[in-house]
Structure 1
Amino acid sequence: MKVILILLTALALIACSEGPESPRGFSLPEGNVEAGKAVFISYQCLSCHTLQGVADSNAEQHLPKKVPLGGDVTKIKTYGELVSSIINPSHKIAPGFKREGYIDDDGQSLMRNYNDVMTVNELVDLVAFLQPQYNLKPFNRTNYPKYFP
């Protein structure tokens, strides 16, 4: 029994090892929220997105319905998730946007690739601006009645 426990512990540790693809050690500098808002406006993000409290009358609509950013969520939007959404928008597409008008024929996001135009500083500032736009709301559990036989 003791040997099995040791083997299971060893397997668990091996499975959790960090390989070269691990995000361990990845860190970007802190961004500037005001500069991030300027990046959001200058890259015309409102052409495809909505963000409560932010408007741009010069932004043309490029999608059938704009993709909302920010607002109430039941799961925190991490720094890494926001960075990934900008530099690799096809990494994770919300189920409601996996349809015509939001993805191409290969199922990839129609979001423009900004990797060759946006500087790292602009990315960091943009994420610093976007992250506080999400409001974590606790998940409301359903209270089922107790049945007694």
Structure 2
Amino acid sequence: MKPQSAAALAAPFLFLAACDLSPESSHGFRLPDGDAQAGRQVYIDKQCASCHAIEGMEDLRDGVEPEMTVAIGGMTTRVDTYGQFVTSVINPSHKIAQGYRSEEFAEGGVSNMRNYNDVLTVSELIDLVAFLQDRYSEFPDY
């Protein structure tokens, strides 16, 4: 078999191998469309601004002694998929960004972010994700 023919036959298999469809993959994961305005209210009600800063919403931090400041929004190069984005909200220890690995933000590889899984309803999570996703100028197209 000619080398070019072998490469042509192998290409589709290499392409498929690169698509992670394992049980741990976020492929195909999608929450229903949320209400970004309602998500903004969730952000306010759950006092996310005590640790997170969003451009244009600095007033929410007035009079708050921030525990830490983790920026939300702008350009992201750390999140490749919608599934990774949602995971970062509901399981912030899953993947901690390089700039947030100090003890102020994470200890022993575990994020200091409070776990909200027992506090947020599914509807609140859906709306919060819609609100937060709108804060990013460059986000993967899903």
- TM-score bracket, shorter-length normalisation: 0.7 to 0.9
1:68 corresponds to 2:71? yes
- TM-score where L is the length of structure 1: 0.74
Deviations 1:100-140 (A, max 9, x none): 21111x2211011111111111111111111121123xxxx
Residue from 50, 53, 58 that aligns with 1:50? 53
Structure 1: where are the runs of 5+ without partners?
A: 137-149
Residue identity (%): 48
- Bigger mean CA deviation after superposition, 9-18 or 120-129: 9-18
* Cα distance in 2 between the residues matched to 1:96 and 1:21: 25
**RMSD across aligned C-alpha pairs, in angstroms?**
2.5
Q: Name the amino acid aligned to 1:124.
A: I
Structure 2: where are the runs of 5+ without partners?
A: none
Residue from 80, 83, 86 that aligns with 1:83? 86
Q: Name the amino acid aligned to 2:67.
A: H
Task: Note if contact 2:29-2:83 (Cα within 8 Å) is conserved in structure 1.
Answer: no
* Cα distance in 2 between the residues matched to 1:74 and 1:88: 18
Decide whether aligned partners of structure 1 residues 8 and 79 sit closer, same or farther in structure 2, where only a CA change above 3 A counts: closer
Bigger CA radius of gyration? 1
Q: How many aligned positions are there? A: 132
- TM-score where L is the length of structure 2: 0.77
Structure with the largest fraction of helix: 2
